[in-house]
Amino acid sequence: MIHKALPEINLADIQTDTTFLGTRLNAPVLISSMTGGTEKARILNRQLAIAAEEHRIAIGVGSQRAFVEDPETARSFSIVREAAPNTLIFANLGAVQLNYGYSIDTCRYAVDLLHADGLFLHLNPLQEALQIEGETNFSGLLKKIEAVCHALEVPVLIKEVGWGIDVATTRQLVNAGVQVIDIAGAGGTSWAKVEKIRAGGHMLHEVADAFNNWGIPTADALLSLREAYPKLPIIASGGIRNGVDAAKSIALGADLAGAARPFLLASSQDEYSASQAVEIFLQQLRTAMFVSGCSSLNELRSKPVVESI
């Protein structure tokens, strides 16, 4: 982003509020899907949800497969809506599970638990391929995603888990009825490296090693998708570590910026750290806008960006 030594605006006047899927947010930020299914996850989700509610930003939960297969884990997810009664919340299931017995009713089950405003169906073919217990039948999945889109009462969002989404895949998903794309591009957590560790002495340890640098970088995917779909709601995630990264993603065309790591690290400390981490993140975003001469998100999106060499 181009620094403005004379921004000609008042930092206190900068506006970051936005509307996403009909809900007003104080800032274009999503606490990305992370966790659920254990007692520790319940504690973390509660703290993250309190932070989301306090700052009126969006939040997603981790995969609810744990809840579907063991309803006793429900509290680790439902706590999010209890702690954040007014903000935007997204349920989350693995899309491939639609090929392994999950149905439209399963999707409703996940949404109803949270009184969610939308459902993330996440795509993770590489992760599944690198798991000993991986579910790798992605055949015919698009038709089932389409059926969920047409039947569900809330919007369906598609997210990758760290390797990005290309234009051709986006076209298929949009035609099927998907309303939002979360890029989750390369640059953040590498699940190839995670699965490499999990594989231990299994041959998949060596298979995973070849995919350390796999995927479409978040910025590249964002630029391509925004050019192809000027009005499609897009969430940029994957390597968003602070509010400056968020500002860059908004400048490149994202509607929301999703981050996980900075908020997860903070929520692991104590009851108040998650909210403080969000406050810092949002102040970083506002400061980046200030020194770029942007008093609103629309101005930020209209500013020229330069590629660093």
DSSP characters over 84-100 = -SSS-EEEEEEGGGGGT
pLDDT at 272: 86
| 84 alpha carbon, distance to own chain's centre | 17
State the pLDDT confidence band at 303, using cuts at 50, 70 and 90.
confident
Extract the tokens encoding 248.
């860059």
The per-residue pLDDT for range 125-139, each reduced to its tens digit, is: 999 999 999 999 999
Say how far apart CA 66 and CA 78 lie, in whole Å: 13
pLDDT over threshold 60, residue 160: yes
To which residue do tokens 């750290």 refer?
273
Contacts of 179 by beta carbon, 8 Å cutoff, 6+ apart: 21, 118, 149, 155, 156, 157, 233
Extract the tokens encoding 259.
């981050």
Say how far apart CA 61 and CA 109 lie, in whole Å: 14
Q: Tell me if 170 sits within 8 A of 228, measured CB to CB.
A: yes
Give the amino acid at 292.
S
- What mean pLDDT is reported for the chain? 95
Nearest Cα to Cα of residue 288 among 246, 252, 253: 246
pLDDT at 127: 94
pLDDT at 270: 81
Q: Tell me if 153 sits within 8 A of 204, measured CB to CB.
A: no
pLDDT at 77: 97
Q: Tell me if 45 sits within 8 A of 274, measured CB to CB.
A: no
Q: Tell me if 90 sits within 8 A of 33, measured CB to CB.
A: yes
The per-residue pLDDT for range 7-59, each reduced to its tens digit, is: 999 999 999 999 999 999 999 999 999 999 999 999 999 999 999 999 999 99
pLDDT at 309: 54
pLDDT at 146: 98
pLDDT > 90 fraction of the chain, expressed in percent and rounded: 89
Relative to beta strand 118-123, strand 89-94 is parallel
- The secondary structure element, H or E, covering residue 10 is none
Q: Tell me if 191 sits within 8 A of 124, measured CB to CB.
A: yes
Three-state secondary structure call for residue 18: strand
| DSSP code for 27 | S
The per-residue pLDDT for range 170-215, each reduced to its tens digit, is: 999 999 999 999 999 999 888 888 888 888 889 999 999 999 899 9
Give the amino acid at 253.
G
pLDDT over threshold 90, residue 88: yes
- At residue 209, what are phi and psi to the nearest 5 degrees? -60, -30
Three-state secondary structure call for residue 138: coil
CB environment 83-94: b (16+ within 10 A), e (fewer): bbeebbbbbbbb
pLDDT > 70 fraction of the chain, expressed in percent and rounded: 99
| DSSP code for 160 | E
Say how far apart CA 110 and CA 116 lie, in whole Å: 8
